[in-house]
Amino acid sequence: MANAEPLELIHEAPRRARDVLARRLADIVGLPSSRLTPRERWIVADLLFDILKASDVTVRQRCARRLAGLVEAPGRLLRVLACDEYEVAEPILEESRALTDFDLLEIVQAGTLQHRMAIARRENISEIISAALVSAGEPPVVECVLKNKTTALAAPTVDRLVGAAQDEVRYAALLIRREELRPAQAFRLFWDCEHAERFQILERFAVDRTILIDSTEDIFPMVSKEGWDDPLVTRVLRYIDRRQRNREAAGLSPYGSLEGAIDAFCVEGAQQELVSEIATLAAIHKRLLLRMIDDMAGEPLAILCKATGLKWTSFQGLWTGLGRPAQDDSVEPARKVYDSLSVEKAQTVLRYWNLTFEDAERR
């Protein structure tokens, strides 16, 4: 990447003629193609490059400002100025439309934090460049990328950021506003969010399944006749099904129902047997229920209660069974979630989570 190295100033006293010549050469380089052939432009750019090597920062700054707005500026000259000291590079990094993705990738790798911040502020950053900026792992740059509404984010980049939000909590609020965020990513992000962000995720992504349910209603009897022996169909229909609870398990349970198991939980606490029983009766993975129990906020348990048709008193039973005070600050946000979600929407969230845990177990 020799062509993108910062210009090294040759030790020489500044001269007025050199400054004027640099300006003239920059003006010539910027002439439209109707007045200057490509070969002539390359020659002039080479001469200007030599002059800039022997010029001070002020001259290089002036040249960079002149070239920043030119669509036909020579790539080599742009790259070396864009990798120069930030005060020289800034106008080219933020304004030049002549920089290609290849150029920007070089600058992302060779530049400083300030260079990457300037690139992150550019309009219409491609998925390739945003991925390179995010991979550097610098929170100020990542936040700038996420705030830039004209930036394109590829799905793998969003996945990476959702994972990074576990350590950088500020990412969550910015990711929620991105159009690229998909339901599976949002519900994974949910666990690392504060109350306000969690509610935003539910408002945006907790949808009902009316069309799915109506369109597949006749398939359930077909699959039942086949003995539910197609694992893939069974998996999809479990997401669509109106029912959440495991009715067969309720008939065999010593507690008689999900409500009965929760009543026992309220008295006995989070005993392993009770946790397993509640997970079975609610038709969810035990590890998912443990994740809900470990979550110190109340929204996940509120979603479980709403999705399974439980009354609010069952949430209170789970909450106090965990040894948490009834007047805890997390109860009010949980009640807000419980009251705002329909059963179908709560089931959508719960089933996305459950599929995630089942997929993780299979891997």
Q: What is the mean pLDDT of residues 277-288?
A: 95
Instruction: Indicate whether 258 and 341 sit together in one domain.
Output: yes
User: Is 225 part of a structural domain of the chain?
Assistant: yes
Q: Is residue 181 part of a domain?
A: no
Q: Which residues have C-beta within 8 Å of that of residue 277, sequence separation ≥ 6?
A: 253, 255, 261
Q: Would you say residue 163 lies in a domain? A: no
pLDDT of residue 234: 82
Q: Compute the half-sphere exposure of residue 204: CA atoms within 13 Å on the CB side of its CA.
A: 20
Q: What is the DSSP string of 202-264?
A: HHHH----HHHHHHHTTHHHHHHHTTT--HHHHHHHHHH-S--S-HHHHHH-TTSSHHHHHHH
Same domain, 7 and 88: yes
Do 294 and 351 sit in the same domain of this protein?
Answer: yes
345-357 pLDDT tens trace: 999 999 999 988 8
Q: Is the pLDDT of residue 337 over 50?
A: yes
- Consecutive H or E run containing 341: none
pLDDT in the model for residue 2 = 44
State the residue range of the domain holding 225: 210-240
- Among residues 99, 128, 151, the one where a domain terminates is 99
Task: Tell me the Cα Rg of the chain.
Answer: 30
Residue 139 inside a domain? The answer is no
221 and 286 together in one domain: no
The reply to whether 235 and 339 lie within a common domain is: no
> Angle, nearest 10°, between helix axes 331-340 and 312-321?
150
Q: Residue 189 in contact with residue 175, Cβ under 8 Å?
A: yes
How many Cα atoms occupy the beta-carbon half-sphere of 88 within 13 Å? 23
Helices and strands (DSSP H and E) totals, the chain: 24, 0
Do 39 and 75 reside in the same domain of the chain?
A: yes
Q: Please calculate the CA angle 189-141-170 and round it to the nearest 5 degrees.
A: 35
DSSP label of 10: P
pTM: 0.79
Beta-carbon count within 10 A of 194 CB: 12
Average pLDDT over residues 32-40: 75
Residues 357 and 251 occupy one common structural domain: yes
Judged against a pLDDT cut of 50, whether residue 9 lies above it is answered with no
Last residue of a domain, one of 40, 67, 99: 99
Distance (Å, rounded) from C-alpha 116 to C-alpha 105?
10
Q: Which residue has the higher pLDDT, 361 or 125?
A: 125
Per-residue confidence (pLDDT) for residue 160, from 0 to 100: 96
- Mean of all residue pLDDT scores within the chain: 88
pLDDT value at 174 more than 80? yes
Q: How far apart are CA 311 and CA 313, in angstroms?
A: 5
Q: In terms of domains, do 228 and 267 share one?
A: no
Q: Are residues 283 and 342 in the same domain?
A: yes
pLDDT tens profile 108-117: 999 999 999 9
Q: Do 336 and 278 lie in a common domain? A: yes
Each residue's pLDDT tens digit, 268-282: 998 999 999 999 999
Using the 3D structure, point to which of 99, 124, 156 is the last residue of a domain.
99
Q: Which pLDDT score is estimated for 295?
A: 92
Of 52, 53, 110, 122, residue with least CA distance to 82: 110
φ, ψ at 346 (rounded to 5°): -65, -35
Q: Which pLDDT does position 93 carry in this prediction?
A: 93
Total domains present in the chain: 3
Q: Which two three-digit tokens encode residue 360?
A: 């993780």
310 in the same domain as 229:
no
